[in-house]
Amino acid sequence: MKLKSILLLLLLTTGILCTQCDKNTSNFQQIEKQTDAIYSSLVKIRRDLHVNPELSKQEKRTSQIVADYLRNLGLEVKTNIGGNGVVGILKGGKKGRNIAWRADMDAIKTDDPDVVDFKSQNKGIRHICGHDVHTTIALGIANVLSQQKENLEGTVYFIFQPAEETFTGAKDMIADGLFDIIQPDEIYGLHIGPEASGVINVKANELFAYQKTLQVKFKPNTNKKELESFMNAIVKGLVRTIEQNGSPWDIINKISDSKVGLTNKETIFKDYFILQGGRLTTEKEDTFYNASFLETDIKRVNSLPFEIKKQILDSKFKDSFISIEYAKDYSGTPLNDPELTKIASQTIASFYTKKMLAPLYGQAPYFGEDFLYYQQKVPGVFFFLGGSNVEKGIVSMPHTPNFAVDETTIKYGVQSFAALILERANSK
């Protein structure tokens, strides 16, 4: 894999791959036209899904629409995988690589009023994480690639996943035999992000921070107040980079800021430790100190218990110390394969407007995405696709009350990722 990508880089930089570039461009132009032709029908599907949102594990209507659409395209369709999961299988005209594309289908509970004209008709439920758009883009890719069938070498698997919001859908589909049904060599997927419509963001390795709760157990201690302030001083001493002032939303809103956000090389979201609070509690005879935090570096996550333990053992509380361990893990970061990230970025850059492909230099805090469970089985890349349009007052920051999506991003998503999948399937 490594040698291949070095060769590819060498060929790209020396221009020997011109014929390949021309081929990429002509494939892309064809895909662009095919996407334009179905765009208005995709907007209709998206709005229908938006009007009829379904909570995690209840995506019956959505999965029925997905399965019908895929069957109409002539794909082999499997349903009820891990709940309401659907898989569509598109076999190309020739043998090649097998590529999977994943979309999620569920919506979220919220009482905030809808901000679009095509309002949710299911009280208290809305698509404020953009999964209606993800589902629509995946259907669009399936449509375009089924028109490219003769050109396609290999097989494309479309995974429509339920229950992403509860972090159970990917696990349930895998436990229900997903990888007996499909055998992908690579897997890809996307989430709507706050950048401008059509901007594709990508980053190797972790996309989000690790989120954990560390628990230290002490013997019954007479001076709990003193112990608590001692432990608070230790964990506060670990804080780095991001200011602790303000609520999590104040921090999250900065992730799309051009000066300090994720797309700036000088981003504040690189190499940080955010403390979410430390507290001493007493349960029966034991005293516990719990500290919840976000940390970007897995090596630091692994070494922290040892560092903290050392500081306790060097203090007057050493005789009270019993144990230290991670009691809770809320981490949910996709782990993008570095080689595939590089190859996918070069492939997209070969046909897509350069300024529309923006690398990320940091890791967003507070977010999670269960795409990581597929990446534990198959190497893959998870992208962000911008959906904002400041001029139209549309801000696509997931899970915010005013979340909305500029629907032009459906077109950008379908054309660029259909082209990427085609190139990856046909690559040797």
Binding interface with Zn ion (CB under 5 A): 129
Q: For residue 384, what is the enclosing H or E element?
A: strand 380-388
Residue 78 Rama label (left phi>0; alpha psi -120 to 50; beta)? beta
* Neighbour tally for 382: CB within 10 Å: 23
Q: How far is the CB of 191 from Zn ion (least distance, A)?
A: 6
Closer of 195 and 423 to Zn ion (Cβ)? 195
DSSP E strands, 149-260: 153-161, 186-196, 200-202, 205-206, 210-218
Closer of 86 and 107 to Zn ion (Cβ)? 107
Closer of 270 and 399 to Zn ion (Cβ)? 399
Q: Do 106 and 55 form a contact (C-beta atoms < 8 A)?
A: yes
Q: How far is the CB of 130 from Zn ion (least distance, A)?
A: 6
User: Strand, coil or helix: what is 70?
Assistant: helix
User: CA-CA distance, 135 to 410, in Å (whole number)?
Assistant: 10
Nearest position to Zn ion, beta carbon: 129
Least Cα distance to 31 among 418, 354, 420, 385 occurs for: 418
Closer of 129 and 182 to Zn ion (Cβ)? 129
User: CA-CA distance, 55 to 105, in Å (whole number)?
Assistant: 9
Least Cα distance to 280 among 231, 325, 213 occurs for: 231
* Neighbour tally for 392: CB within 10 Å: 11
Q: Give the CA angle between residues 269, 272, 278 to the nearest 5°.
A: 130
Least Cα distance to 27 among 351, 385, 348, 282 occurs for: 351
Q: How far is the CB of 163 from Zn ion (least distance, A)?
A: 11
Closer of 39 and 167 to Zn ion (Cβ)? 167
Q: Do 107 and 131 form a contact (C-beta atoms < 8 A)?
A: yes
Closer of 129 and 405 to Zn ion (Cβ)? 129
Q: At 274, give phi and psi (nearest 5°).
A: -110, 125
Q: How far is the CB of 417 from Zn ion (least distance, A)?
A: 17
Q: How far is the CB of 192 from Zn ion (least distance, A)?
A: 8
User: Strand, coil or helix: what is 407?
Assistant: coil
Closer of 105 and 231 to Zn ion (Cβ)? 105
* Farthest-apart Cα atoms in the chain, separation: 77
User: CA-CA distance, 49 to 67, in Å (whole number)?
Assistant: 14
Closer of 289 and 403 to Zn ion (Cβ)? 403
Closer of 105 and 324 to Zn ion (Cβ)? 105
Q: How far is the CB of 181 from Zn ion (least distance, A)?
A: 24
Q: Do 90 and 145 form a contact (C-beta atoms < 8 A)?
A: yes
Closer of 163 and 312 to Zn ion (Cβ)? 163
Q: At 311, give phi and psi (nearest 5°).
A: -65, -35
- DSSP code for 118: S
Closer of 188 and 293 to Zn ion (Cβ)? 188
Q: How far is the CB of 94 from Zn ion (least distance, A)?
A: 35
Q: How far is the CB of 358 from Zn ion (least distance, A)?
A: 20
Q: How far is the CB of 411 from Zn ion (least distance, A)?
A: 20
* Neighbour tally for 427: CB within 10 Å: 18
